[in-house]
Amino acid sequence: MAFHAPIRTMATAARQSLKVGLIPADGIGKEVIPAARAAIEALGSDIPKLEFVDLQAGFELFARRGTALPEETVEALQECNCALFGAVSSPIKKVTGYSSPIVALRKKLDLYANVRPVVSVAANAGDKPSVDLVVVRENTECLYVKQETITSSETGREARATRLITERASRRIGKMAFEIALKRPRKQVTIIHKSNVLSVTDGLFRESVRGVSHSAEDGRYDGVRIEEQIVDSAVYRLFREPQIYDVMVAPNLYGDIISDAAAALVGSLGLVPSVNAGDNFVMGEPVHGSAPDIAGQDIANPLASIRSAALMLRHLGYGRGADRIDSAVDTVIREGQVLTPDLGGKSKTQEVVAEVLKRI
């Protein structure tokens, strides 16, 4: 599977135990994070002794306590080796005092890369998937710095937002993308931008990512082919010919949109995992949202969360355990007998979890 070895791994030799923070947050996060935990626990001796820490965050918590991300959650995570985050319900209208806890966590823990593999499951285990790409999204800047103002004038209200792109952030996300590409057969990086319009901000992103390859010591990235695509054309070609893409690297907003769109190519957002990765910490996070319309009905798809756990473990260096989880998920999808409604099935969340655990 192309989920294998997507990003550089952290050293594991001296680790005697694995402390995992669990943040279900809102909506179906409360249903899918326990599924991810169960998959990790099923690995037995392929991973160290496990310790799970239950933590709180989210809009529902904000409604109760007036804070979406308690300081004790951040402090507890700093004592963990890794974490799993479920989903957050962010209101579409401004709520005084509220800001997204997942965006805040990415910044506080310096999880500068959001890595989202999008891979279709081939009908036969030996066949190549028809979609096999990785979106590498810069995680800390762009419009997500959330510096917005609104003023009034004679002609009405005016809203403005600051978009931040720095050379430092662009270079390190570029390096992450090149490192991922090195471990993949095609070794191709496509830079996604809109520098034909945003020549200053996207121009800096484009130039900085390209500069990673040119400045690498000993020609480390000489074997990686660099392509470019304007973001709107990239979305069009993503649906028309997804096979042209290998590793796509993008600023925060473009990466968010592209990875969600790419999920349609493999059947459901409920299948697509991600990790928020930094140099010293990794947090798995399914790409789907909190889905309040189905929360509590036991029909949420747990597979993206389970795959996110595997992706997290692989980043930590536990490749064998991650392989077992990925293989189990692939088998369940391929057989098609136990699937949630988003994939055309009639099974409950817990039935799918049980089937995956049996395969593990």
Task: For residue 194, indicate whether it is catalytic.
Answer: yes
Task: For residue 246, indicate whether it is catalytic.
Answer: no
Where in the sequence of the chain do the CATH 3.40.718.10 domains occur?
1-111+278-360, 120-271
* pTM as predicted: 0.90
Catalytic member of 260, 298, 323, 348: 260
Sign of CA dihedral 43, 47, 49, 53: negative
Task: For residue 30, indicate whether it is catalytic.
Answer: no
Catalytic member of 26, 256, 326, 330: 256
Classify domain 120-271 at the CATH topology level: Isopropylmalate Dehydrogenase (3.40.718)
Per-residue pLDDT of the chain (360 residues; tens, 9 = 90+): 444 445 555 555 456 889 999 999 999 999 999 999 999 999 998 888 999 999 999 999 999 999 999 999 999 999 999 999 999 998 888 889 998 999 999 999 999 999 999 999 988 888 888 999 999 999 999 998 889 999 998 999 999 999 999 999 999 999 999 999 999 999 999 999 999 999 999 999 999 999 998 887 778 999 999 999 999 999 999 999 999 999 999 999 999 999 989 999 998 889 999 999 999 999 999 999 899 999 999 999 999 999 999 999 999 999 999 999 999 999 999 999 999 999 999 999 999 999 999 999
Catalytic member of 26, 194, 318, 330: 194
What residues contact residue 86 under an 8 Å CB cut-off, 6+ apart? 23, 24, 25, 26, 27, 28, 29, 30, 32, 33, 285, 286, 290, 305
Q: Which of 173, 235, 162, 172 is nearest to 200 (CA)?
A: 162
Classify domain 1-111+278-360 at the CATH topology level: Isopropylmalate Dehydrogenase (3.40.718)
Catalytic member of 54, 128, 183, 232: 232
Catalytic member of 144, 221, 245, 318: 144
Task: For residue 218, indicate whether it is catalytic.
Answer: no
Task: For residue 132, indicate whether it is catalytic.
Answer: no
